[in-house]
């Protein structure tokens, strides 16, 4: 007779940790970290110092890494229908960066993700995107369209005037190249903003 397991998506972080380590008391290490992101960034030694063995800490780090790789693999199978889909694809990773990054999501004719590329890395409050770099690999890989995305390390997703100007410029270049710019999604900490939606208001 097989065991009956719960719906893991409905479990709390502390319950998942307890199941992973087979130790109900181990869930208390969450009290030592500000959030799961902080735990992900911590070393095995730092996690162990919170009250578990190094073997348990290594097991937990391995589980976190598996989760990160699952998110990465989803990119090659994703189909984009909205800004929400872009956030689901990249929001967790980009929302935690301490520098601005511009990434280009290249799509096929069915809006399936061909590839995602980092085209620029900036400072804590600015990042320059040049059309040449943004469209270069989209042309090489035969993308039918692209979606631009970048993060705001401040945590706020409100686009700046420079973001709006860049979006308009890229849309014009895209028309000339035959590669439509479907949207420009600004990612904050737990939030996002579609510049396309703003421009259509």
Give the pTM.
Answer: 0.65
Helix (H, G, I), strand (E, B) or coil at 123: coil
The pLDDT, as a whole number, for residue 123 is 62
Per-residue confidence (pLDDT) for residue 127, from 0 to 100: 59
CATH number for the domain running over 78-199: 3.40.140.10
The torsion angles phi and psi of 187, rounded to 5 degrees, stand at -110, 130
CB-based contacts of 135, cutoff 8 Å, min separation 6: 146, 173, 174, 177, 179
Residue spans per domain, the chain? 9-73, 78-199
**pLDDT for the residue numbered 12:** 84
- Please write the tens of the pLDDT for every residue from 37-73: 788 888 999 988 888 899 998 999 998 888 877 766 6
CATH class of 9-73: mainly alpha
The pLDDT, as a whole number, for residue 124 is 58
Find the DSSP H helices in 42-194: 44-48, 54-74, 83-94, 131-140, 161-177
Give the whole-angstrom CA distance, residue 137 versus residue 106: 9
CB atoms within 10 A of CB 20: 16
Q: Which residues contact 200 (CB under 8 A, 6 or more apart)?
A: none
DSSP H or E segment with residue 192:
strand 192-194
pLDDT, block means (10 residues), the chain with 201 residues? 68 85 81 81 89 90 84 70 94 89 95 92 68 92 96 93 93 96 95 93 79
Phi, psi torsion values for 117, nearest 5 degrees? -130, 135
């Amino acid at each position: 007779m097989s065991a009956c397991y719960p719906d893991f998506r409905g479990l709390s972080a502390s319950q998942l940790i307890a199941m992973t380590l087979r130790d109900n008391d181990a869930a208390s290490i969450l009290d030592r970290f500000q959030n799961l992101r902080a735990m992900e960034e911590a070393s095995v030694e730092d996690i162990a110092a919170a009250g578990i063995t190094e073997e348990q800490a290594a097991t937990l780090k391995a589980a976190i890494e598996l989760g990160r790789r699952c998110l990465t693999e989803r990119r090659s199978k994703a189909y984009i229908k909205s800004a929400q889909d872009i956030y689901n694809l990249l929001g967790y990773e980009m929302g935690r960066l301490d520098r601005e990054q511009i990434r280009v999501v290249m799509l096929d004719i069915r809006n399936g993700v061909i590839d995602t590329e980092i085209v620029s890395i900036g400072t804590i409050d600015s990042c320059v995107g040049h059309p040449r770099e943004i469209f270069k690999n989209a042309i090489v890989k035969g993308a039918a369209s692209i979606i631009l995305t970048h993060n705001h390390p401040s945590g706020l997703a409100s686009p700046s005037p420079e973001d709006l100007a860049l979006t308009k410029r890229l849309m014009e270049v895209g028309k000339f190249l035959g590669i439509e710019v479907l949207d420009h999604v600004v990612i904050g900490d737990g939030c996002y903003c579609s510049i396309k939606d703003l421009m259509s208001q």
